[in-house]
Amino acid sequence: MAKKNSTANKLDWEYAPSLEGTDHIQLKEKYDLYIGGKFVKPSSGKYFATTNPATGEKLADVAYGDESDVDKAVKAARKAYTEVWSKLSGKERGKYIYRIARIMQERARELAVIETLDAGKVIRESRDVDVPLACNHFFYYAGWADKLEYAFPNRKIESLGVAGQIIPWNFPILMAAWKIAPALAAGNTVVLKPAETTPLTALKLAEIFHDAGLPPGVVNIVTGYGDTGAAIVNHADVDKIAFTGSTGVGKIIQKAIAGTNKKATLELGGKSANIIMDDAPIDQAVEGIINGIFFNQGHVCCAGSRLFVQENVADEVIKKLKRRMDTLIVGNPLDKNTDVGAINSKEQLATIQKYIKLGISEGATMHQSRAKIPANGYYCAPTIFTDVAQSSTIVQEEIFGPVLTIQTFRTVDEVIQKANNTPFGLAAGVWSDKGSRVFNLTSKLKAGVVWANTYNKFDPTSPFGGYKESGYGREGGLHGLGAYVKLK
Amino acid sequence: MCFKAQHLHDMHPGLPTVAAVCVYPSMVKVAKKEVGNSGVKVASVSTAFPSGQAPLEVKLMDTKFAVSEGADEIDMVISRGKFLSGEYNFVFDEIAAIKEACGKARLKVILETGELVTLDNVRKASDIAMYAGADFIKTSTGKIQPAATMQVTYTMLMAIRDFMDATGIQVGMKPAGGISNSKLALHNLVMVNEVLGSDWLTNEWFRFGASSLANDVLMQIRKLETGVYQSSDYFSID
């Protein structure tokens, strides 16, 4: 810690950086597609670069998979399904999944650093949240593999076949775990496409599957852009689509699979309400607001992006929130002190800035954290908007960045009406000291997850998913397992 | 002890002195004479320290005596029994009376958080002490464990911040007991910086009560200079 004397007696503190090392990670210069247990070149011969959003530097070239590559991957998955995986006992499947989880734990540090480099998220988060949770999902579903008849008592259980899985860039390894673990536990094989800006940890997972001795073709990883994902969705021999991403793409997928036998789970956008009642513990609620909107730079589908504060405590909450925002450290995601890292991509930064401009032009009052922002890389200062209404664009549309809108309310009925007045319904938060008030709100909010006196808490045993345009189907817990089986 | 307070680091000129030496009322006169005009303040524990188990008249006499002997600061303990049985007015009035008896001496109010047990109680006691006129709030006497845990200090810092917001009056903070090494001290300083800001990072508004900390700080400074840790026998234990 460096300190400098400003006056004779008073100290002004600056925290010296505490950088996580990168010399222990192993990254190849070029990554091929992982199909049928081997890394194979893309048929087009094309590659694209994945970069570190904190610096703009290239990390690796990654294969651009096209329709024929997807076809190869689906064929490999089908072969593995019929010849190997569907014939294995649940106990044997469980052993593989446990082994994957253990190897992930052993390589947790490397996975966390690569995730931070590729996605821009802070090391504290990838180290303490994303990677451990991803491991826990594998452990959790490994435990179900030989107990499916207890998960669904008195039902005959069949796996679905080949699952096509398309995951987003905000939680790359965690989303891969959410999707792959239950699919394998239930006896399905997988073709997974990571997002184009964050493919590296999925490719590291491929190496881990390889090291775990997972039979060839059980999990295939095809990197690429939107058309690669479309090829998976449209492939005739895929039995199930699991997608996490934007509501726009979710609607396209919904149309594409209409009239087919494909099952689907869609986990889409959100504009979740975080509600502060006047009896809430204000300092804890302020931490909850910060966590709700600035965790992972606001790139969280369930981010608490619409804050509702009871009018009689609004001034106090906003004052404390602003002060807390000024203490956030924005900067190098590899620094263990950093609270808010880099925006995932140049495109996303432009989207966020567009919404901030729109907020101002629609008459809202903006306040930004005084945190120092690095000159290079893609960064956005934590931002809040007051003087907004239900009709403001920034209140209605998902921004997917560190931007919070603040509205006030007077009664419980009013806040329920306002919170539910959105096409989305993924999550909500309620802060109150009074149990009956909490339960009244949690039962009336139309959202898949409602947190009380906390926010952004995740656990493999707990199902996650949305109402309305936030999607359908659930991931996590028994519900998540149910999405990968046919019950008779 | 007074000698050490003034000659803590003669080998390292330019470092600030300790803020104060803390003694029983009977030793105030001696201590005051010893520290002279070195800038080191003399604080006196009073109010039947450390138990506080005496009637208000005795506590007031104890306090007035210490002040009359020249104490710059008074450290009192609150009546935990009364607090825990919900007699908050009693606790408030007692602090206010002792504050009056202090005259110009600054009053530190020791909550003895180890006996208050819950953070809700710590917060409530902090508010009572500040509204009753405390210049400083302090975690512990050092005679009871647990003493200044991070959670307790954090709770009191938040109370100070809210009191400042509500009244505009700055109150000092003193975690005492248990902060025996430099690393823990840094944790605490960071906490103060994060919750209250750099206005509190002076010996006027933030103090550590931990005699053993001084030696560890000296040992770390010596290590920075020489590259190796010295034996603890090179540091006097008074």
Angstrom distance (rounded) from CA A64 to CA A30 = 11
A437-468: pLDDT as tens digits: 999 999 999 999 999 999 999 999 999 999 99
- Chain A and chain B share a number of CB contacts under 8 A equal to 25
Catalytic residue check, A302: no
Does pLDDT of A4 surpass 70?
no
Asked whether the beta carbons of residue B194 and residue A9 sit closer than 8 angstroms, the reply is no
Asked whether the beta carbons of residue B201 and residue A11 sit closer than 8 angstroms, the reply is yes
Q: Which residue of A has its CA nearest to B157?
A: A283
What is the number of structural domains in chain B? Answer: 1
Asked whether the beta carbons of residue A1 and residue B186 sit closer than 8 angstroms, the reply is yes
pLDDT for residue B10: 80
Which contiguous run of DSSP H or E holds residue A367?
Answer: strand A365-368
Angstrom distance (rounded) from CA A400 to CA A398 = 6
CATH of the domain at B30: 3.20.20.70
**What ranges make up the beta strands (E) of A38-93?**
38-40, 47-51, 58-63
Give the one of B189, B190, B202 whose C-beta lies nearest to A10's C-beta.
Answer: B202
Q: B198 contacts in A (CB within 8 Å)?
A: 6, 10-13
Does pLDDT of A2 surpass 80?
no
CA A176, A182, A188 angle in degrees (round to 5)?
100
- Chain mean position to CA B4: 19
Angstrom distance (rounded) from CA A429 to CA A303 = 10
Which contiguous run of DSSP H or E holds residue A158?
Answer: strand A157-159
Q: How many residues does chain A have?
A: 488
Ramachandran region, residue A285 (left: φ > 0; alpha: ψ -120 to 50; beta: rest): alpha
Give the one of A1, A9, A283 whose C-beta lies nearest to B202's C-beta.
Answer: A9
Asked whether the beta carbons of residue B199 and residue A10 sit closer than 8 angstroms, the reply is yes
Domain housing B22: 2-234
Instruction: Give B235's pLDDT tier (boundaries 50, 70, 90).
Output: confident
A35-85: pLDDT as tens digits: 999 999 999 999 999 999 999 999 999 999 999 999 999 999 999 999 999
Asked whether the beta carbons of residue B194 and residue A1 sit closer than 8 angstroms, the reply is no
Is there a contact between B32 and B21 (Cβ–Cβ < 8 Å)?
A: no
Please report where in the chains the tokens 């647990």 appear, as a residue.
B146
Q: A319 contacts in B (CB within 8 Å)?
A: 165
How many other CB atoms are found less than 10 A from the CB of residue B98? 25
A338-375: pLDDT as tens digits: 999 999 999 999 999 999 999 999 999 999 999 899 99
Q: Does B204 touch chain A (CB under 8 A)?
A: yes
Does pLDDT of A397 surpass 90?
yes
Core vs surface per residue A213-236: b (16+ CB within 10 A) or e: ebbbbbbbbbbbeeebbbbbbbbe
Closest-CA distance of chain B to residue A324, Å = 9
Please report where in the chains the tokens 């019929």 appear, as a residue.
A82
Q: What is the CA radius of gyration of chain A?
A: 23
Provide the token pair at A377. 């890389």
Asked whether the beta carbons of residue B193 and residue A1 sit closer than 8 angstroms, the reply is no
Interval B92-110 mean pLDDT: 97
Chain A residues within 8 Å of chain B (Cβ atoms) = 1, 6, 9-13, 15, 283, 319, 327
Is there a contact between A471 and A267 (Cβ–Cβ < 8 Å)?
A: yes
Closest Cα to residue A134, out of A169, A109, A108? Answer: A108
Q: A10 contacts in B (CB within 8 Å)?
A: 198-199, 201-202
Count the alpha carbons within 13 Å of A78 in the hemisphere toward its beta carbon.
Answer: 12
Interval A382-397 mean pLDDT: 97
Angstrom distance (rounded) from CA A485 to CA A20 = 41
Asked whether the beta carbons of residue A9 and residue B198 sit closer than 8 angstroms, the reply is no
Residue A221 identity: I
Instruction: Give A6's pLDDT tier (boundaries 50, 70, 90).
Output: very low
Domains, chain A, ordered by start: 30-268+468-487 (3.40.605.10), 273-452 (3.40.309.10)
Q: B207 contacts in A (CB within 8 Å)?
A: none
Count the alpha carbons within 13 Å of A398 in the hemisphere toward its beta carbon.
Answer: 25
The mean of the pLDDT values for chain A is 96
Does pLDDT of A15 surpass 90?
no
pLDDT for residue A271: 97
Asked whether the beta carbons of residue B204 and residue A9 sit closer than 8 angstroms, the reply is yes
A405-418: pLDDT as tens digits: 999 999 999 999 99
Which residues are CB-neighbours of B157 under 8 A, at least 6 positions away?
B173, B191, B192, B195, B196
Sign of CA dihedral A31, A36, A37, A40: negative
Angstrom distance (rounded) from CA A228 to CA A193 = 8
Active site residues of B: 75, 138, 174
Interval B170-199 mean pLDDT: 93
Angstrom distance (rounded) from CA A184 to CA A240 = 13
A93-141: pLDDT as tens digits: 999 999 999 999 999 999 999 999 999 999 999 999 999 999 999 999 9
Give the one of A11, A283, A327 whose C-beta lies nearest to B158's C-beta.
Answer: A283
pLDDT for residue A5: 41
Pick the catalytic residue: A115, A267, A398, A469?
Answer: A267
Which residues are CB-neighbours of B81 under 8 A, at least 6 positions away?
none
Q: Which residue of A has its CA nearest to B161?
A: A320
Closest-CA distance of chain A to residue B26, Å = 31
Asked whether the beta carbons of residue B198 and residue A283 sit closer than 8 angstroms, the reply is no
Closest-CA distance of chain B to residue A455, Å = 21
Interval B12-20 mean pLDDT: 82
Angstrom distance (rounded) from CA A34 to CA B177 = 59
Closest-CA distance of chain A to residue B57, Å = 39
Asked whether the beta carbons of residue A11 and residue B198 sit closer than 8 angstroms, the reply is yes
